[in-house]
Structures are given as C-alpha cells and as structure tokens.
C-alpha cells in the first residue's frame, strides 16, 4: 500500500466522527426524555392541586424546581 499512515489516520478520524455523532444523538435523546418527564410531572402537579391532593404553595415550589430543570437542560417551553 502506498499511503498506510494516511489510511490509518483516516480510519481513526472516521471512527471518532461516527462515535461523536452517535454520542450527540444519545445526549439529545436523554435531554428530550428528561424534558418530557418534567413536563408530565408539572401536569400531574396541576391536576393534584385541582383535585385538592396538594396545596398550591408546595405545588408552586415543585413547579419552579421542575421549570429550573427544564431551563438547565436548555429546552425552551
């Protein structure tokens, strides 16, 4: 083979590029899943307040914390 070193580095670069794209995809999926869970929990808290199972002061604290998590994830509502 005429250029074994170039071929070797090309294989390494392509491999790490593929791994990088895969890891980014996994991270995006985890962020999306966490955001959906936090949004669901906010909905459940609102329902609990409406049904009298939770007082509004506690609910406001929970919702603020969940919204903080969503903001920390970088997801806009």
Task: Check the CA dihedral 40-46-52-57 and report its sign.
Answer: positive
Tell me: the pLDDT tens digits for 21-68? 999 999 989 999 999 999 999 999 999 999 999 999 999 999 999 999
Task: Check the CA dihedral 13-19-23-29 and report its sign.
Answer: positive
Name the DSSP letter for residue 52: T
Q: What is the band of 6 on the pLDDT scale with cuts at 50, 70, 90?
A: confident
Domain ranges of the chain: 4-73
């Amino acid at each position: 083979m005429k250029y074994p070193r170039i071929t070797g580095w090309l294989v390494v670069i392509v491999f790490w590029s593929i791994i990088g794209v895969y890891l980014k995809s996994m991270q995006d999926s985890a962020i999306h899943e966490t955001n959906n869970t936090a949004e669901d929990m906010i909905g459940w808290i609102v329902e609990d307040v409406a049904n009298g199972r939770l007082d509004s002061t506690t609910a406001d604290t929970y919702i603020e914390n969940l919204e903080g998590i969503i903001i920390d994830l970088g997801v806009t509502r």
